[in-house]
Amino acid sequence: MKVAGLLAAALLLAGCRDGGKEEAEQAVRTYIARVIDAYRTSDASLVDPLVGDQQGVKLLGLIGVKRDAGVVLDARLLEIEFARVAREGDGWVVETRERWYYKDRRIGSGEQVGEDSTDAYAMRYRFSRKAGKLVLEDLAFAVPPQVGRKVAPLPDDVRVLHGLPPGGEEQAVPAGHPPVPGAREPGEKRP
């Protein structure tokens, strides 16, 4: 009798663990589907219920840079493999191997901007539990990504990437950006 009770408890516990694993994998799938829509529509609020504050701010910035450049990211997940799903405290760590296809499209016309790209990533998702559901707290590359395209398209006037209006003669090039015709280097004075 005791053996049957222990066996039933073990099976129940295993079922709970598997359910948690399935929930964590589904949280990744749901996040990916929403982030694809968020980039395509230039609307970071679509992922708000799924992410913690830090991850939400990061996505807001990344999607905003695309919008400021006049493009949206058209992304398609080609394949995903769950390499590791493990409990971490009250949350989960999920490691995946993913292949993606990307292209940028001009807002309004939908015309492709720049080259497309097929990329491969090994990702690490960290979820915590808040209000009974898994929330993405951190997303990082587990190893450096393999990116197909060499250059992502940027606008001619890099000021728009920093939330500034397009400049004229007196615009400065932010450090680390390629030179823009007619722009001055930071600190450079005009004659």
Residue whose entry in the numeric block shows the structure tokens 């007619």: 182
Residues 163-182 pLDDT 10s: 566 665 444 444 444 443 33
Lowest mean pLDDT among 135-139, 156-160, 174-178: 174-178
Query: Which range, 112-121, 144-153, 163-172, is most confident?
Result: 112-121
Residue of 69, 66, 73 lying closest to 102 (CA atoms) = 73
Distance of alpha carbon 152 from alpha carbon 71, whole angstroms? 11
Distance of alpha carbon 44 from alpha carbon 41, whole angstroms? 8
Beta bridge partners of 121: 98
* pLDDT-based confidence at residue 93 (cuts at 50, 70, 90): very high
pLDDT over threshold 90, residue 137: yes
pLDDT score recorded for residue 136: 98
More confident call, 77 vs 15? 77
* pLDDT-based confidence at residue 155 (cuts at 50, 70, 90): low
Q: Please give the domain boundaries of the chain with CATH numbers for all domains.
A: 2-154 (3.10.450.240)
Instruction: Report yes or no on whether pTM surpasses 0.85.
Output: no
**What is residue 147's DSSP assignment?**
-
Question: Is residue 100 within 8 Å of 119, Cβ to Cβ?
Answer: yes
pLDDT score recorded for residue 151: 78
Averaged pLDDT, 59-83: 95
